[in-house]
A and B are shown apart, each in its own frame.
Chain A
Amino acid sequence: MSKTKINDINRNIYDIKNKDEYDFKIKKGLTKDIIEEISKQKNDPEWMKEFRLKALEVYNQLELPTWGPDISELNMEEIATYVRPKTSLNNSWDDVPEDIKSTFDKLGIPDAEKTSLAGVGAQYDSEVVYHSMKEELIKQGVIYTDMETAVREYPDLVKKHFMKCVPIYDHKFVALHGAVWSGGSFVYVPKGVKVDIPLQSYFRLNSPESGQFEHTLIIVDEGASLHFIEGCSAPKYNKVNLHAGCVELYVKENAYLRYSTIENWSKNMLNLNTKKAIVEKNAQVDWVTGSFGSKISMLYPMSILNGEGAKTEYTGISFAGEGQNLDTGFKVVHNSPNTSSVVNSKSISKNGGKCTYRSLVRINETATHSKSSVSCESLMLDDISISDTIPVNDIRTDEVEFSHEAKIGKISDKTIFYLMSRGLSEEDAKAMIVRGFAYPISKELPVEYAVEMNNLINLELEGAIG
């Protein structure tokens, strides 16, 4: 077992490391043998094994992206792509091993399940260790399970949708994901079923020098609605960890899906996640995203508005501190008439952190009478931090309403003086300004995440004043 060093930074609960105990950890690197071994370990059906090997081929053919943050430090030879925890899938927390359960306890997952969630999935390293959903949803035909179970039990639904929204040819890390994916959640909401209380999956990566490649596949059928919450965290190690998950969302006619994420990876994580939604006629997908952790993030959720009258909203915030480079944004393609997209993005950078908002708005010739409005604001807390906006707007019809607004600002000394004259310390003053700046986003988050986000802001700003 590899030894890990513990850094003495305090990220409270997020940094609680369990011993790197596992049932099975694949050897590092990426070869055909390794993929076959993962497939064997996971009892894949034949089609999935073939799919993985095909994806590996594509991975080997594709180049690293030539734009964005430098990810050359990522050496796949040093990453273990599959780590199976010492437990199987459980549907009672009592059956989850104590150290793993205690991690999720501290993250507040079982508590939230009791009070405010309709279903919970919890993944530890490469496998889902807990999955459960309220009885009444099962009766209504809602499916919420781990991805492996879905592959086994709902092969038709999975085959029809798995990596069709996000094909393995999209980019190198999607191909990687296709080859080594493990865990994640599968949700199917039948026609007309409104799931009023959110479902939540939480992904925890404990094992050092490893990768997490969970696959989330959600199908919200015609006229149905769902709020899905995804939470991610990991303790800090000295070596690079990789997260290359994939989220595919299918929102059918008149359906509604809200997808909320809080990513709070540790600062040794490369987060190269891919998320995409296909939105049909008069359907809507709303993305709410908070990106805090990771060393490097490249994360650009995408909505493809295929049906007439389809809508999407993106509300996102990222917070980059020392040594962090968060390259995030949103992509939308308008393919049909009367579609609309609204983007509200904010970023905060401090102590030399870098936030980039990178976006695509494409309105095709076919998307007449569509609307798109983009607003992005950045706040820099000092002179050494960096903020950038790189929008690409590709508008191919005149019959649209399009607006783009970008603001980059700094906290002014006058504002700090004003707040300090009311008894707030400089730290308190900055934290209040940042919380206020983030408020329009945090109010969109589920309440416990909004609280967590405020705590994170306070935590990030502690000791930030030289």
Chain B
Amino acid sequence: MSQDLLEIKDLHVKAEDKEILKGINLKIKKGEIHVIMGPNGSGKTTTANSILNNPAYQKVNGSITLEGEDITHLKTDEIARKGIFMSFQLPEEIPGVSVTNFLKYAKNKVTGKPVKVFQFKDELETYMKELNMNPKNMERSLNVGFSGGEKKKNEILQMLVLNPKLAILDETDSGLDVDAIKTVSKGIEMFKNDENAILIITHNTKILHSLNVDYVHVLVDGKIVKTGGQDLAKEIEENGYSQYK
């Protein structure tokens, strides 16, 4: 029997004094892929940021547990070390820090173990090949001067390297062309196993054509208004969100 990985109970979240999430409930088990869909401004990114406890968002009520442990108010880095990863919609640029050095450092922080240099390099090269990434990007400053597609692939690379229990992909598919979406989907397939889970946050359905998902949740005005299977995504693709407003 599969186990509960993440559980969100009645989560209310404010940003700049405005209530954005108005009671989110969500359960994710190991081995599952969940999708949260919703129109702009419905609270999708807030949900992702709240799971990682971004201090820009204030939790008013509710709780978040990871494998039964309350992580609602842990610091972001503690949550990351417990095994939650988020792929950012707009990844930050860090001048002067190479992708390799950054990943080595982050991996060491997340696992708490020293990183074996050669093994790490091999691992990185393998993943980059799979993701059609230019190996030269390894020595470039993190995300600096990267195209939109390169940044997103880099997020997927980080996910593979850090190997979290739960990966949250916030609008990872937005702004990507068909080929890039295929590559990202490939990365997700490589990552996916029975012990981890994925939460995809998106406002369109493109990425769902190349992935099998278990649950689709429709988020409107800070609440999950409907949950279904892959069919629900199809229905939204055809009819939009208007019926849920």
Contacts and interface: CB of A to CB of B under 8 A. Distances in A.
Contact of A422 (B49, B55, B96, B110): B110
A425 B77 contact: yes
Interface stretch (A10-18, A214-222, A288-296, A410-418): A410-418
Contact of B162 (A418, A423, A429, A440): A423
Given A422-B110, A422-B162, A417 B76 contact: yes
Contact of A420 (B80, B94, B96): B80
Interface stretch (B13-21, B81-89, B124-132, B185-193): B81-89
B92 A414 contact: yes
B77 A420 contact: yes
A420 B88 CA distance: 12
Contacts of A449: none
Contacts of B106: 422-424
Interface residues of B, number: 28
Interface string B92-108: 10111100001001100
A440 B98 CA distance: 12
Contact of A435 (B81, B86, B97, B162): B97
Given A417-B55, A432-B105, A436-B141, A422 B80 contact: yes
A413 B57 CA distance: 12
B94 A432 contact: yes
B109 interface: yes
Given A423-B106, A436-B97, A415 B92 contact: yes
Nearest to B52: A421
Contact of B77 (A414, A426, A435): A426
A439 interface: yes
Contacts of A426: 75, 77
B17 to A, nearest CB: 17
B208 to A, nearest CB: 24
A428 interface: yes
Given A414-B92, A422-B110, A432 B97 contact: yes
A415 B102 CA distance: 13
A423 B95 contact: no
Contacts of B91: 418
Of listed B49, B55, B94, B96, residue having the most chain A CB within 10 A = B96
Of listed A420, A423, A428, residue having the most chain B CB within 10 A = A423
A424 B96 contact: no
Interface string A396-414: 0000000000000000111
B109 A418 contact: no
A417 B48 CA distance: 13
A438 interface: yes
B131 to A, nearest CB: 18
Of listed A414, A424, A429, A437, residue having the most chain B CB within 10 A = A424
Contacts of A48: none
Interface residues of A, number: 24
A415 B105 contact: no
Contacts of B49: 417
A137 interface: no
Given A423-B77, A437-B96, A417 B56 contact: yes
Given A418-B91, A421-B80, A440 B96 contact: yes
Contacts of A418: 88, 91-92
Contacts of A417: 49, 52, 54-56, 76
A423 B109 contact: yes
Interface in B34-74: 49, 52, 54-56
Contacts of B85: 421-422
A433 interface: yes
Interface in A420-466: 420-426, 428-429, 432-433, 435-440
B196 interface: no
B92 A439 contact: no
A418 B87 CA distance: 9
16 contacts: A412-B92, A414-B92, A418-B91, A421-B76, A421-B80, A421-B88, A422-B102, A423-B110, A423-B162, A425-B77, A426-B75, A428-B77, A428-B105, A432-B105, A433-B97, A436-B97
Given A421-B79, A423-B106, A433-B94, 18 more contacts: A413-B55, A417-B54, A418-B91, A418-B92, A419-B92, A420-B75, A421-B52, A421-B76, A421-B86, A422-B102, A422-B109, A423-B81, A425-B75, A428-B105, A432-B102, A435-B97, A437-B95, A439-B97
Q: Can you list the 10 inter-chain pairs with the closest CB atoms, starting with the nearest?
A: A436-B96, A439-B96, A423-B109, A420-B76, A423-B110, A436-B97, A418-B92, A422-B106, A423-B80, A420-B77
Interface of A: 412-415, 417-426, 428-429, 432-433, 435-440
